[in-house]
Amino acid sequence: MSADDVMGSPLAFSGQRLDWRDLPRAVRTRIAALAGAQVTAEISANTGFSPGFAAVLELSDGRGVFVKAVSPDQNPVSPELARAEIRVAPSLPPQVPAPRLLWSDDDGEWVLLGFEVAHGRPPETPWRPADLDLALDALAVLADAAPLPGHRLPSTDVSLAADFTGWRTMLAAAPGVRMEAAERAGELGGWALENLEQLVRWEQDALRVSAGTSLVHGDLRADNMLIDHEHAKVALIDWPHASIGAPWLDLAFMLPSVSMQGGGDPQHLFWSHPVSDGLPMDHLRAALTGMSGFLAYASMQPSPQGIPNLRRFQRAQAEAALRWLREMA
């Protein structure tokens, strides 16, 4: 992230961030040692859902570094996600527009990551056409990428196996739970409830169609991108969910959030993108069903520690995904 662009966020959803002064002294000392210079200033990132510390640090020698620091005290899952991002970093090929991991450290409690500073700002929301065009171009590059040899990334169908069961879980639940899910899905809830058995059938194909050999980010949204219009570039950030799967998945999974943030019709955007060439419609429908079921069911759960807005965001994404899915019914 750039020091000039993390200051203002167009997004209303974020995790609870720590400031530099909130970090234990020993952690701050360790970060300075890893960075190779004393920290003179910080500019905190206020987008994204991960709690903990995330900021561009200005160093006494004039350099900058983007640092993440998390411990179980902020959220019990966050350290594992940080460790996953460390494992992913060596797998990213140079053509993928992602900031390079410079160093990392893990003492069993605090996990620290230092990235090169990527210049740009989060996309404006509602999405501007110029921002969206650059983002869609970046997804075309990503769709053609494969991880570097020796990678340790899981297959997408394996990594999503536990998630893409939302509609089946709701079908097996008590009627009251199903009604709650329908109410949370807003205007689309009644349609989902009436078509629940059909959604279950489509969901059962989601893992099969997700398989492939391309690098998949797995969690692309506006808050995981930085737009640099001066150089016509996009940086894709936050990679803990990376896997190997179908090249069109990142586009399909991102478009519901684009739609809910004013970016346009996902059906048109998907089928006009080159990654959709030759794709059977039922493959997209199955993957979208898996995703919408995960989001709808997850939005009913208690808020995770340190991430109070996540369930609201998931609910909005679920509504957008269901709206798109209904067009393909």
In whole angstroms, give the CA distance from residue 54 to residue 293. 30
Q: What pLDDT does 155 receive?
A: 98
Find residue 235's DSSP bridge partners. 226
Place of tokens 């509602």: 126
- The 10s digit of each residue's pLDDT in 276-308 is 999 999 999 999 999 999 999 998 889 999 888
Amino acid code (one letter) for 89: A
Q: Are 294 and 256 spatial neighbours (Cβ–Cβ below 8 Å)?
A: no
Q: What is the number of other CB atoms lying within 10 angstroms of the CB of residue 46?
A: 17
Q: What are 237's two structure tokens? A: 């950030």
Tokens of 183: 């109410």
How many angstroms separate the CA atoms of 149 and 146, rounded?
9
Q: Is the peptide bond before 94 cis (omega within 30 degrees of 0)?
A: no
Q: What is the CATH number of domain 17-115?
A: 3.30.200.20
- C-alpha to C-alpha distance for 252 and 287, rounded to whole angstroms: 8
Helix, strand or coil, per DSSP, at residue 98: coil
Our CA angle for 106, 111, 114, nearest 5°, is 100
Q: For position 113, what pLDDT does the model report?
A: 98
133 token code pair: 């065009």
Residues 291, 304: Cα–Cα separation, whole Å = 19
**Structural domain spans, the chain:** 17-115, 129-327
User: Domain 129-327 belongs to what topology?
Assistant: Aminoglycoside 3'-phosphotransferase; Chain: A, domain 2 (3.90.1200)
* Nearest one of 34, 157, 42 to 105, comparing CA atoms: 34
Residue 307 φ/ψ, nearest 5 degrees: -130, 70
Residues 6+ apart with CB under 8 A from 284: 248, 252, 270, 276, 328
114, 101 in Cβ contact below 8 A? Answer: yes
Q: How far apart are CA 181 and CA 322, in angstroms?
A: 13
- Give the number of C-alpha atoms closer than 13 A to the C-alpha of residue 208, restricted to the C-beta side: 9
User: Which pLDDT does position 176 carry in this prediction?
Assistant: 79
| 156 φ, ψ (degrees, to nearest 5) | -60, -40
Asked whether the beta carbons of 81 and 75 are under 8 A apart, the reply is no
Q: Under the phi-then-psi rule, with left for phi > 0, alpha for psi from -120 to 50, and beta for the rest, what region is 15?
A: beta
User: Rounded to whole angstroms, how far apart are CA atoms 315 and 42?
Assistant: 33
Q: What is the pLDDT of residue 3?
A: 28
- What's the mean pLDDT when you consider all of the chain? 91
Question: What tokens were used for 232?
Answer: 């016509």
Tokens representing 40 are 């003179």
The DSSP annotation for 35-88 comes to HTS-EEEEEE---BS--EEEEEEEETTS-EEEEEEE-TTT-TTHHHHHHHHHHH
pLDDT at res. 306: 87
User: Which residues make beta-bridge pairs with 114?
Assistant: 67, 103
Q: How far apart are the C-alpha atoms of 145 and 152, rounded to whole Å?
A: 16
Q: What is the pTM of this model?
A: 0.92
* Parts of the chain with a pLDDT under 50: 1-13
Do 40 and 59 form a contact (C-beta atoms < 8 A)? Answer: yes
The pLDDT, as a whole number, for residue 15 is 58
